[in-house]
Structure 1
Amino acid sequence: MATEHVILLHGLWMRAFAMGLLRRRLIEQGFEVHRFEYMSVAGTPERAIVRLQRKMRELAPGRVHLVGHSLGGMLALLACVDDDLPDGRIVCLGSPLAGSAAARGLIGHWGGDRLLGNARELLEHGFESWDGPREVGMVAGYLPVGLGSVVGALADEHDGSVSVAETRLPGLADHCMVETTHTGLLMSAEVAQQAACFLRDGRFAAASAAAG
């Protein structure tokens, strides 16, 4: 059986080691898992995307999946607009694909230009839809604990940083919800199981998918 690789992308203000527990759980699910480090504030999305695409090609042949938390999921989509990459799927964890109210709040009142750096435009506006060649699944949290609601007006259901509405985007293959916070998405065993399910089958497990 061919090796299936997974590249993990961390979110804003994080480092690759934050993905350690998720990495271990996906290894237990049978994947070959790699963590991808990038500068989320000082670096540019374009530079990260070039490096990510190079890494994906290095891991070929075989399928190369991407799992991105928050900003990392948005970079995963940008990297896979083209179809000249190894086959695979994308799982986003709490990524504000439709744009982030918390980011817009930071920009308006909290010195967001410095805090968000080169990720500002992507986080502020997000995407209109997804029509790229890969299937994309979203796992959204809905335990409303975090500072996001302090700096931005989040919708009724949110994970403390990103509202569930911000994780929905036309073109997603599937969407599910797990009762956890934004950071907790990286620690949850259920999230890891759902991610593995989507990477294998292109759908989330029915119990949680129904909640989405």
Structure 2
Amino acid sequence: MRGARSARQWGWRWRRNPLRRRDDVFEAWLLLLVWIAFGVGGTFAGLMTARAADESFSRLRDDRHAIHAVLVDSTRSGSSAARGADYDHVRATVRWTTPDGSSHTGRALVKAGHKAGSDVVIWMTAQGRLTTAPPSTGATAAAVGLLGVGAALALGGLGFAVGGFARWWLDRRRYGRLTREWERLGPQWGHKTS
């Protein structure tokens, strides 16, 4: 069976064929558009989303700056159940001096386990409001990557959903046409033999 041709022909919807329907050609173009939307559109959406997220994180890092402050009250270490990198900061009252010499007091996130009077680092926005530290470079890179991949997959998923719906609609149309043809031609084949 070396010379036998496979039953499945690639690109059969594009070739001239007496059994090819207009719906088959439409479905072929639809599939091509879905794959282009997934490949090119998904890549473009992912890159644009990643770029916008990176710019947003850059503005966030530029807007925040670290200053030194003094703890007003002692801070306790977190409970043993809450140990870890995410739980090693507590909200505490701090006092700091601005460059113009005025003294301010407020509550900020500081590392746990310091005594009153300890020097701590707090973060402020350009407008002078207390805030949290900006995300690290590694966290920013991970977030940018995840947002880009998520946008690409979302656009690709939307394209596949639209393509799937269109193929479902085409199949229903084909089945309806087949049913009508069978109702018309079926009685001619339905003679009984005894």
Q: Give TM-score, length-normalised by structure 2.
A: 0.19
Q: Which has the larger radius of gyration?
A: 2
Question: Which of the pair has the greater relative contact order for Cα pairs under 8 Å at 6+ separation?
Answer: 2
